[in-house]
Amino acid sequence: MPKVYSGDLTKMFDISGKKAVIIGGAGGFGKAIAEGYAANGCSVLISSRREEALKAAKAEIEAVAAPGVKVCYFAGDAGDEETVKAMLAYAVSEEGLGGCDILVNSQGINKKMFSHDIDTEFFEKMLHTNITSLMLTCKYFGNWMKDHNLDGAEYQEVEPGKANPNQGYGKIINIGSVRGIRAVKNGGNGNVPYNTTKGAVEMLTKAFAADLRPNIQVNAIGPTITYTPMMVGILSDDEETRNKAAAPLPAMRIGHEIDVVGPAIFLASASSDMVTASTIYPDGGLVATS
């Protein structure tokens, strides 16, 4: 049966004791979310392709983690199906987290290319990283949660070609972008490939929410331009200069990594149990006012 929260009203945002897998957790939004989760008592497994970056991120996450929180990592390419299977097996093993309640997809790449010189090979790479890898992790982790987080209910056999009848709980959060629903004005600034992939993230999120119903909520977070490590050298080092570009927005500043952490905690907690197939935009008001 679909779940309705009936617990302690002071615990609706509580994620302590939960277990989260965060793809792209070695830096940027993923690492910021991992730190926020760990500080609030949620054990985390971070994953990316670079083991050295994961080791460094693990140490930084552990430094802010609440007592008893486990932090581990898995190095591998989430765009490879066999790797995702292995990642899942490790995550739910006792060596890993021993289960999974939350999946965060924060992986992604970008390259600005105007339409007349789109690099087809790199465009295909962006599609694979920004969309296919999300499909794979949502497929395997989402259905694992549906089959295993049953809260005492009996497992039902899944028939090929039919919807999964199990009603296990879980949360999936995909990191999208305001560029999934808003193209860049005044020429586009070479964002045809990026806009395309982030638009697909919006619909992938909605479709998985419909597929994994009723107790797995699938949502997205769509930040505005944000000063992440990927933007160092692209955006000015001076905060005042950076914010001038966002002066027309109600918030009058660009985003910071911390701006996605609150929405990610909300979407991982019981307080969002009736929120699914939606996107939260920590965008300073860009979507509403542009």
State whether residue 217 is helix, strand or coil: strand
Closest-CA residue to 111 (of 121, 120, 123, 127): 123
The DSSP 8-state label assigned to residue 158 in this structure reads P
* Edge-to-edge strand ranges of the sheet holding 19-23: 71-75, 43-48, 19-23, 102-105, 170-175, 216-221, 279-280
So what's the pLDDT on residue 59?
98
What is the mean predicted confidence (pLDDT) over 3-23?
Answer: 96
Locus of tokens 């019981």: 270
The neighbour count for residue 26, using CB atoms within 10 Å, is: 27
d(CA 206, CA 202): 7
Domains and CATH numbers, the chain: 14-283 (3.40.50.720)
Structure tokens at 155: 């497992």
So what's the pLDDT on residue 232?
67
State whether residue 170 is helix, strand or coil: strand
Task: Please check the confidence at residue 173 and state whether its pLDDT lies above 80.
Answer: yes
Confidence of residue 246 (pLDDT cuts 50, 70, 90): confident
What is the mean predicted confidence (pLDDT) over 195-223?
Answer: 98
Structure tokens at 265: 């905690």
So what's the pLDDT on residue 238?
78
d(CA 222, CA 200): 12
On whether the CB atoms of residues 69 and 41 are closer than 8 A, the answer is yes
Structure tokens at 88: 């899942």
Locus of tokens 């790479």: 125
Q: Mean pLDDT score of the chain, rounded to an integer?
A: 95
Using a cut of 0.75, tell me whether the model's pTM lies above it.
yes
On whether the CB atoms of residues 222 and 177 are closer than 8 A, the answer is yes
Lowest mean pLDDT among 28-42, 208-222, 228-242, 260-274: 228-242
pLDDT in tens, 76-135: 999 999 999 999 999 999 999 999 999 999 999 999 999 999 999 999 999 999 999 999
On whether the CB atoms of residues 73 and 62 are closer than 8 A, the answer is no
The DSSP 8-state label assigned to residue 153 in this structure reads P
State whether residue 173 is helix, strand or coil: strand
Torsion of CA 22, 28, 32, 34, to 10 degrees: 20
Task: Please check the confidence at residue 14 and state whether its pLDDT lies above 90.
Answer: yes
On whether the CB atoms of residues 44 and 34 are closer than 8 A, the answer is yes
Q: Which of 83-87, 179-183, 249-253 has the highest mean pLDDT?
A: 83-87
What is the mean predicted confidence (pLDDT) over 270-274?
Answer: 97
Distances (CA, A) of 9 to 5, 67, 205, 265: 9, 23, 28, 16
